[in-house]
Amino acid sequence: MRLGVLTSGGDAPGMNAAIRAVVRQADALGHEVYGIYRGYQGLLESDWAPLATRSCANILQRGGTILRTARCPELHHPERRAEAAAKLRKVGIEALVVIGGDGSFRAAEALHREHGIACAGIPGTIDNDLPGTDRTLGFDTALNTAVEAIDRIRDTASSHGRLFLVEVMGRSSGMLAVHTAIACGAEAVLYPESPNDTYESLVSQLHANWIRGKRSSIVVVAEGDGVGNAVGVGERLKRDYGLDLRVVVLGHVQRGGSPSALDRIWGSRWGSEAVRRLVAGERAFYLGEVGGVLAVQPMARILDPHPVPPKDLGALVSVLAR
């Protein structure tokens, strides 16, 4: 059996662990793997090559993805999906392992539904926003990267008695922002799904902190927050209240770096399991983790609503900031 593996969308620490596991599990079972470079864009351009087991040596600890990645809006069009399916069949790739997030899985779901391409999904996104799994590759590493950075910022904030607004990734999900806020002891958090995500509630929280004697504060802001990004919120606070504040945008530093042990372990488990299930004849599924146990979801479930941060976590930030 010839399998294809690609990484698509934003890169996430742990993707290389999954690639390595796919290649070596397939080799152990006597099957061949083609690496498809630059995600679905590379698939459309036939940019692929066989991956030997030794080609995956010493990649477990590396961030990013050795297959490189890209976003491919062309695959939103049915005729381009038909072209992609035809190219896979022409080269003899019988099943596809897709490592990516929501957009990547939606494309895989369409390839299977429309053209019968067998697809296995491995959740790779630092946003941790896919239905049917408590964990995605890269989330743990990105969370620890953000917390380490904010711990350093806290030292300066305390020394100067200053407010810092720290922007983390999360264009449409607050998972990373909320978990970061709790882990670093932030005084407030702004994220898209928050029921109290208003400028007025932030001002009220900062005022309450001041009354309690707090002279420095950390506010974590998701990049897709409804009030505005960290720069916009900071400019508004300066204009309205003359606050002495600084804005730090962590940006893509959260995507890079060596993956954590958890991301290496789950990437390895999911990569191996994807191959075993495809070889056994399963056709359209993605893997995850629920309650610490490896979970398998039908690929069509990617069309379900995305999970949101539990309400108690957002409330907990304010309670613990006292």
Is 1 annotated to bind a ligand? Reply is: no
Q: What is the mean pLDDT of the chain?
A: 94
Average pLDDT for residues 171-187, to the nearest whole number?
Answer: 94
225 has catalytic annotation: no
**Could you read off the pLDDT of 66-83 as tens digits, one per residue?**
999 999 999 989 999 999
Q: How confident is the model at residue 244 (pLDDT cuts 50, 70, 90)?
A: confident
Residue 196 has pLDDT above 80, yes or no: no
Q: How confident is the model at residue 172 (pLDDT cuts 50, 70, 90)?
A: confident
Same domain, 240 and 265: no
Rounded Cα distance, 314 and 322, in Å: 14
In a domain, 292, yes or no: yes
Rounded Cα distance, 145 and 139, in Å: 10
Of 11, 27, 47, 127, the catalytic one is 127
Give the per-residue pLDDT at 88: 97
List the domain range (segments joined by +) for residue 279. 2-138+259-303
Name 311's Cβ contacts closer than 8 Å, sequence gap at least 6.
195
Rounded Cα distance, 207 and 209, in Å: 5
Name 67's Cβ contacts closer than 8 Å, sequence gap at least 6.
5, 6, 7, 15, 19, 35, 36, 37, 38, 39
In a domain, 311, yes or no: no
Tokens found for residue 61:
């600890």
Is 21 annotated to bind a ligand? Reply is: yes
Phi, psi torsion values for 266, nearest 5 degrees: -70, -35
CA nearest to 166, candidates 288, 62, 248, 84: 248
Is 179 annotated to bind a ligand? Reply is: no
Q: How many domains would you assign to the chain?
A: 2
Range in 86-90, 133-137, 224-228 the model is least confident about:
224-228
Average pLDDT for residues 250-273, to the nearest whole number?
Answer: 96
Is 314 annotated to bind a ligand? Reply is: no
Tokens found for residue 135:
């964990």
Is 171 annotated to bind a ligand? Reply is: yes
Strand order in the sheet with 188-190: 188-190, 217-222, 163-168, 245-249
Same domain, 268 and 244: no
Average pLDDT for residues 1-22, to the nearest whole number?
Answer: 97
Tokens found for residue 205:
């929280």
Residue 214 has pLDDT above 90, yes or no: no
The answer to whether residues 8 and 67 touch, using CB atoms and an 8 Å cutoff, is no
Residue 197 has pLDDT above 70, yes or no: no
CATH of residue 236: 3.40.50.460
Same domain, 127 and 154: no
Residue 195 has pLDDT above 80, yes or no: no
Give the per-residue pLDDT at 228: 79
Query: How many Cβ atoms sit within 10 Å of the Cβ of residue 173?
Result: 25
Query: How many Cβ atoms sit within 10 Å of the Cβ of residue 29?
Result: 11
User: pTM here?
Assistant: 0.94
The whole-angstrom distance between residue 109's C-alpha and the CA centroid of its chain comes to 19
Same domain, 19 and 134: yes
In a domain, 321, yes or no: no
The whole-angstrom distance between residue 149's C-alpha and the CA centroid of its chain comes to 18
Q: How confident is the model at residue 128 (pLDDT cuts 50, 70, 90)?
A: very high
Same domain, 284 and 236: no
Range in 86-95, 202-211, 297-306 the model is least confident about:
202-211
The answer to whether residues 107 and 70 touch, using CB atoms and an 8 Å cutoff, is no
Is 217 annotated to bind a ligand? Reply is: no
Average pLDDT for residues 17-33, to the nearest whole number?
Answer: 98
Tokens found for residue 131:
């239905």
